[in-house]
Structure 1
């Protein structure tokens, strides 16, 4: 049987301490245990290794040749463990180290601006910000914090709402509607040029609500892009009909760059959530970064920014 299977690292640490103190009884007093307990655990370590490590007489303690070789490695290993323990304790107390953050591209500027103020407060922390619209396995990819749009499927993460749900509505430019006409029914969308932010094999499916009625319509996008800013710009340019967050289009509707299409229809709404790991202790860097995001990000709510611009 492999000795590593039965090796108790506590016995290794005890062996190192006995050699350093040159005494079984001194270590027993340090640990508050009987001397027989220390002797028994050293004997157990020797049994697992299958070799004698210490020669003990009534007057002195001597390492065997094997014991000397083993002690040289064991002392370094135990020292490394203690250094690692001290390092982890420092991480729990002082914000230090790297924090990996995932956010959608459309929120990149808002998230980055909040990160700048955090970094100014915590010089010992570095942040790795990744902007991506894809749904990513946060644990597998090693992210500490994620900011996600839509419904939060938290799983192994705690989800905290940053911005409340905002409606998604259908919009097109006056130029497009003059050229192609306005759809009168949901079914008409299949015959129009559409702009989608999610598509599979050339098709996009929109979930639409008309009162209490839920409808799903499949369209073949004339233009597909995985980011709302580009979809918004394409709608204004007259490329087609797009489903966009209402708050992003308030100013465009007021200034007649966009017109709402199918007034009685709404898309699925979803807020913006901050996710962080639910299990295990968080480092001080991750914990303080979470607190900073929760305090600062809500003030960058796109709906508030849009209303301020209009005012």
Structure 2
């Protein structure tokens, strides 16, 4: 049991690349953690960490040991938690990285529903544009839209969405309504930065259309807002503009045309997930599949 505990301590230090950060996570004194790792190295007979004043790095032996230990520690933690599930609902702090626009406009009501279902789970959400590192940072999972993942990550498909074309009634009254992709050249198109061509599909037909306009953005929420302010045509998933469609601020145009399907993923760095993470992924998959 002492060896397993020391392996768990080593895994936290290796993930954080810092004794101080790992000690804070583990809630033990930094000196105690350093001493335990030194004793572990002595028992093994190999140096696992190269220590500098600013950072620590894994030795070759440390890399091998970390890969093995992490799987063992994850298995032990999961076994312990699965037994605990017999007595209580999932609990603890769930840390999730979310795409800001998708979270604000679509996931927020689902998250509220999940929180009501599991009152013993607390939440910490990172909605910044930064792509978090699930190995070295303390996140349980990341929700990502249409992004490929490294082979060492576990990506679970939650849903697939296609973009459609939307504009406000007033914009259409003033500028007319396009009927086919070629008509978009004459319109104000609210496009993402570095995306000057929209690819549209209708049955077996595929058309690529160059688009332009006064606005280029890197934020889907702002595209949605400008479209409601009569500034142009938006090319976004229906789920992003559901409220605006319901109250008539936006209207779908060229309904026979749509964009390529985009997949929403739940990404983790391991298949061995605690109950809180499993429940959250299962809930999102079930709820998003209804759309």
TM-score, length basis structure 2 = 0.58
Q: What is the rounded CA distance, in whole Å, between the counterparts of 2:260 and 2:120 in structure 1? A: 38
- The equivalent residue for 2:153 is 157
Q: 1:208 aligned to 2:203?
A: no
Instruction: Give unpaired runs (5+ residues) of structure 2.
Output: 4-33, 44-68, 82-89
- The equivalent residue for 2:220 is 228
Deviation at 1:266? 0.7
Change (3 A) 1:223 1:300: farther
Change (3 A) 1:140 1:195: farther
- The equivalent residue for 1:290 is 277
1:26-175 alignment, distance < 5 Å:
77-78=38-39, 91-92=77-78, 93=80, 100-105=95-100, 106-108=102-104, 109-110=108-109, 112-113=111-112, 116=115, 120-122=119-121, 128-132=124-128, 136=131, 138-139=133-134, 142=137, 143-150=139-146, 153=149, 155-162=151-158, 164-175=159-170
Q: What is the rounded CA distance, in whole Å, between the counterparts of 1:165 and 1:214 in structure 2? A: 19
Q: What is the rounded CA distance, in whole Å, between the counterparts of 1:274 and 1:183 in structure 2? A: 36
Tell me the matched-pair count: 217
Change (3 A) 1:132 1:188: farther
- The equivalent residue for 1:276 is 268
Query: Per-residue CA shift, 1:78-97, capped at 9, x if unaligned?
Result: 27999xx9xx5885535998
SS at match of 1:101: strand
SS at match of 2:231: coil
User: Which deviates further from its counterpart, 92-101 or 152-161?
Assistant: 92-101
Q: What is the rounded CA distance, in whole Å, between the counterparts of 1:190 and 1:141 in structure 2? A: 46
Structure (1 or 2) with the larger CA radius of gyration: 1
SS at match of 1:187: helix
Q: Which runs of 4+ in 1 moved over 6 A?
A: 73-76, 79-82, 95-98
Q: What is the RMSD computed on CA atoms of the aligned residues?
A: 4.1
Deviation at 1:137? 6.3
SS at match of 2:112: helix
